[in-house]
Amino acid sequence: MIDGTDTATAPENVVIIGSGPAAWTAAVYAARANLHPLVFEGEPSREMIPGGQLMWTTDIDNYPGFEEGIDGQTLMARMKTQAERFGTRVIGENIASVDFSQRPFVLRPSWSAPITTHAVIVATGARAIWLDVPNEARLAQSGGGVSACAVCDGALPFFRNKVLAVVGGGDSAMEEATYLTKFASEVVIIHRRDAFRASKVMIERALKNPKIRVLWNSTVTEVLGGDEITGLKLKDTVTGAASELTVGGLFVAIGHTPNTAFLDGQLAATPGGYLVTPTPWRTATNIAGVFAAGDVMDEYYRQAITSAGTGCMAALEAERWLAEEGLESEAPASNGAA
């Protein structure tokens, strides 16, 4: 009995929450181990869509195996198809809340009946914090020169030998600006204050680079351009004066937010909200049977290939944990999955 609702199905072996590289890799490994995984891939929203941040990426040149590159939507579709090939079941809903205080664990989807499961892999990723100014989202989604990941996109031919702007004042902004100097003719850091909050060593490294200059006390009010970015409208935070800056690319580096609100604090996390795995190089969380994979537990690398790697790790750990606990069942439960 779950909150007065009698579930007609046996507990799942493992439920995977998410639909990015970590989730689909975990599903492939779990399915091949005959765990009959069930994936809740999420629902489209203004900020996130099933498939994660790669669904906003038009060209991926650094994922192994695709010598000519691949777009993010195609990569995610192929990963999903591969997981389904081995019997992974998929439900297009969010998990609205969880209860890890009882066993089996209870998961409550957005509108379907609650389900129970012995193990959970949380692979819900993180979402970039955007400026929320005109044309930003449109050009980010269309590959028109707006990005939230310099390491992912900076080496693309689109950005080479152009003036590129980086918005932010923390370590990530300094790191992205320095990285972009490998490809740009100039990198302009735009910061709303008159001092960076980044670490001293990162600031020194950026400011000593001859390709980097800084626009202090400035904010972006609009991204200019039709099919491709042509410039930025700026506002001086001290005087209020408006100006324009011609650029060939914009990289927003003001942070990421892990998608963990639905967990309601039941798993240990960093002050920034990233899930903590107590043992280094493991994906087990502070609650036995719950594992974390991908950007939801990685605030350092945040790459598709590292996310996929942790998805593999989480599935292997879940398989071993279920075996040790004697909880693995032979056949999948029926929960209305496709």
**How are beta strands 290-292 and 115-122 bridged, if at all?**
parallel
State the Cα–Cα distance between residues 266 and 260, nearest whole angstrom: 10
Asked if 6 is an active-site residue, the reply is no
Whether omega before 271 lies within 30 degrees of 0, making that bond cis, reads no
Asked if 152 is an active-site residue, the reply is yes
CB atoms inside a 10 Å sphere around CB 21: 31
CB atoms inside a 10 Å sphere around CB 4: 5
Residue carrying structure tokens 């100014």 = 133
Residue carrying structure tokens 């670490």 = 199
State the Cα–Cα distance between residues 241 and 11, nearest whole angstrom: 61
- The one-character DSSP state at 2 is B
Catalytic residue among 99, 132, 149, 298: 149
Give the burial class of 279: count Cβ atoms within 10 A of its Cβ; 0-12 exposed, 13-18 middle, 19 or more buried: exposed
Q: Are 93 and 112 in contact (CB under 8 A)?
A: yes
State the Cα–Cα distance between residues 321 and 284, nearest whole angstrom: 10
Asked if 312 is an active-site residue, the reply is no
Catalytic residue among 71, 132, 153, 295: 153
Catalytic residue among 3, 132, 152, 298: 152
Catalytic residue annotation:
149, 152-153
